Structures are given as structure tokens and as C-alpha cells.
Amino acid sequence: MKRKVFAYPYIVWMALFIAVPMVFIFYYAFNVDGSFSFSKAWATLSDISKWRVLWVSIEIAAGTTVFCLLLGYPVAYILSNMRKSIAAFISVLFFVPMWMNFVLRTYAWQAILEYAIPNMLGWTDKTLTGSVWAVMMVLVYNFIPFMVMPLYNSLSKIDRSLIEASGDLGANGRMTFFKVVLPLSVPGIVSGITMVFIPAITAFTVPALIGNGNYNLYGNEIEMAFKQAAGSAGSADYSVGSTLAIILLICVFISTAVMNRFDKDHEEGGNLL
């Protein structure tokens, strides 16, 4: 009974900041002049431009996730093979920048890409912001720790006797990695992909500050829809922003379910190879 009491604040927090906002989102999406209707939601769903933005967001989020995996896996692998004291120290250094506010880090990268690097290279009339690669680079910088953490946790738990047994059976380092280490680290890969892809697809600060308006992602589309509704004359119409938010929520649920299913299949005996 005492343990249940400690869960009450969490339940209240979930209700106030997750359940209640979701109720309002669905209310505004399907409410037309006080009655339930799909008309405004259908009008938003019929707008092809919204789907194009969603597809671009998925592409950039997927690219960010791939780069985080390619860069984060070697880092996590090296850390997992170090002494725990050294690995802990390097991990702290790696995660210290993450203690700074996300928006401040993005502003710092904006200054670096817009002024510092071009001035250093003598490009007085050029800037590195406003490109898809700049947006992805800053997204990778911000989210790569969320890839490294689960990978390191998964790799550090691998029984070293399995690696030694692989060597005793004649497998070289490459075979051991692909036949032993990589399959056993799949749970960490799945967790890392989930922790990077979902926030990347919902990001709006980085595209707004680094993309210079050239690469608005789906989060920016939702933000602009709500701002336009709030700034319009008369009663605010939040149906567009709410409908877009529901679409994004469905995408997040689908991606999470797919990754959880993949992880479950692997635990039941599946394999990457």
C-alpha cells in the first residue's frame, strides 16, 4: 500500500500534462461549432503539402538516426572495452554538453555555422546554415548521447566468455563481432533508434534556427498552425494544428510499436543475420 502512495504524484502528473492535453487536442480536431465533425480534420488531411512535410521529416529523422548509430556504435563499443573507471570519466565528458539547455546548444551551433566557420574560412558572403545537412548535423549532435547510452549499456553486459569462446573456436575479430557482439547488442540498437528517431521527427527548434526556414519539419508545421490560429481575429481555430498533432502522434505510436515488436522477436530467438 505504501508503495502505491508513491505512485500517486506520477499519476497526477501524467493526467495533467499528458491525458488532459490529449483530450483538448482531440476536442479541437473534431469539434465544429460545438458539434462532432470530421469536416475540418478531413480538409487538413486532404492537404498534400502537409504530407510532403511529414515525409521530409521522416527522411531527416531516419538520416539522423542512421548517422547517430554509425557514429555512436563505435564510441559505445570502445567505452565498453575500457576499464569502468575510465569509461565512466569519458562518459561524463561526453554528456556534459547535454546538461546545457537544448535551445542554447542550438543557438551556439547557429553562431558556429553562420559566422565562426565561414569567417575562419574567409567566406564573408556565405553561411553554412539553411541546408538539410546542417540541420541533420545539429540533430545528430543533440541526439547522439541517446544512442550511445543504450548501446553502451547493452555492450557492457555481454558476457566476455562468449567472445573468448568465439576466438577459441577459430573465429577472427570480424566474425566474432558480426556473429556474437552485434546480435547481442540488438536490444541497445533498438532502444537507441527509438530514443533518437522519435524526438528527431518531432523536432522544431533545430529546423527553425539552423534551417533558416528552408527545411521546416512537421513540428514546425504544427507550431505555425497553432500560432496562426492564436493570432487570428475572432475565435481561434485550433483544428489544423490539432489534426497535425494527431497524425504525428500516430506516426510515433507506429514507429514505437514496430521497434518494440522487432526487439521482442529478437528476444524470442530472432537474429540480425
Q: What is the pLDDT of residues 99-108, one digit of tens each?
A: 888 888 999 9
pLDDT at 265 over 70: no
- The grid coordinates listed for 94 are 561526453
Q: Cβ neighbours of residue 20 under 8 Å, at least 6 residues apart? A: none
The secondary structure of 230-273 as a DSSP string is HHSSSS---HHHHHHHHHHHHHHHHHHHHHHHHHHHHHTT----
Q: Which of 66, 252, 79 is nearest to 151 (CA)?
A: 79
pLDDT tens track for 37-92: 888 888 888 889 889 989 999 999 999 999 999 999 999 999 998 888 888 888 88
Chain mean position to CA 11: 25
In this predicted structure, what is the pLDDT of residue 270? 40
pLDDT of residue 255: 83
Q: List the grid coordinates of 188.
A: 541497445
Res. 272 pLDDT band, cuts 50 70 90: very low
- pLDDT, position 167: 81
- Binned at pLDDT 50, 70 and 90, residue 3 comes out as low
What's the pLDDT at 8? 76
141-194 confidence digits (pLDDT tens): 999 999 999 999 999 988 888 888 888 788 888 888 888 889 899 989 999 999
Mean model confidence pLDDT for the chain: 84
CATH superfamily of 50-267: MetI-like (1.10.3720.10)
pLDDT at 262 over 80: no
The dihedral through the CA atoms of 19, 24, 27, 29 has a sign that is negative
Q: Residue 269 has what pLDDT?
A: 41
| Residue 147 contacts residue 98 (beta carbons within 8 Å) | no
Burial track 129-162 (b if 16+ CB lie within 10 A, e otherwise): bebbebbbbbbbbbbbbbbbbbbbbbbbeeeeee
Q: Where are the domains of the chain?
A: 50-267
Which segments within 59-172 are labelled E, that is strand? none
> For helices 132-156 and 48-80, what crossing angle results, to 10°?
40
Question: What Cα–Cα distance (Å) separates residue 19 from each residue in 11, 16, 26, 151, 222?
Answer: 10, 6, 11, 31, 19
The C-alpha cell of 145 is what? 548521447
- Classify residue 10 as exposed, middle or buried by CB count within 10 Å of its CB (0-12, 13-18, 19+): exposed
SS3 123: coil
Our CA angle for 136, 140, 141, nearest 5°, is: 120
Other Cβ atoms less than 10 A from the Cβ of 26: the count is 16
How far is Cα 136 from Cα 116, in angstroms, rounded to an integer? 19
- Total length of the chain: 273
Say yes or no to pLDDT of 231 above 80.
no
Grid cell digits, residue 241? 494544428
Residue with more model confidence, 90 or 233:
90
